A = this chain, B = another copy of it.
Amino acid sequence: MVEKLSDGQRETALRGLDGWVYDATSGAIARAFKFKDFSEAFAFMTRVALAAEKAGHHPDWSNTYNSVTISLSTHDAGGLSARDIALAQAIDKLLA
C-alpha cells in the first residue's frame, strides 16, 4: 500500500519538478505539453506509455492534435504519492 504524501512532502517534491501543478480538489498533479504536430505529440505519448508501464503506474491523460495533458494521482493512496512524483520525474526527463 503506497502512502499519500504529506503537504510538506508534496511541496518539496513539486519544487523538484518542471511545470507540474497540484490540484487540491482532485489530489492530482498535472502538466500540459505542446509539440510541433500530432506525430511529435504521439511519439512523446508512446514514450510516456512505456515509462508508465515500466513503473506499473499510469496517467490520466488526453491529447488534441499537438497538445498533451497529463494528470497523475494514486487512487489507492487517495491522492498524490511517491509513485506520481517518480513518474512525473521520468516524464520530465524525456523532454530534458
- Chain B residues, CB < 8 A from A59: 63
Report yes or no: A62 in contact with B62, Cβ–Cβ below 8 A: yes
- For residue A64, CB closer than 8 A to chain B, the reply is yes
B-contacting residues of A (Cβ < 8 Å)? 38-39, 42, 45-46, 49, 52-53, 58-65
Q: Which residues on the B side are within 8 Å of A38 (C-beta)? A: 49, 52-53, 58
Q: Which residues of B contact A64 (CB under 8 A)?
A: 58, 60
CB contact between A65 and one of B58, B62, B63 (< 8 Å): that residue: B58
| CB proximity of A55 to chain B, nearest CB, Å | 11
Chain B residue numbers with a CB within 8 Å of A46 are: 42, 46
For the complex, what is the distance from the CA of A52 to the CA of B63, rounded to whole Å?
13
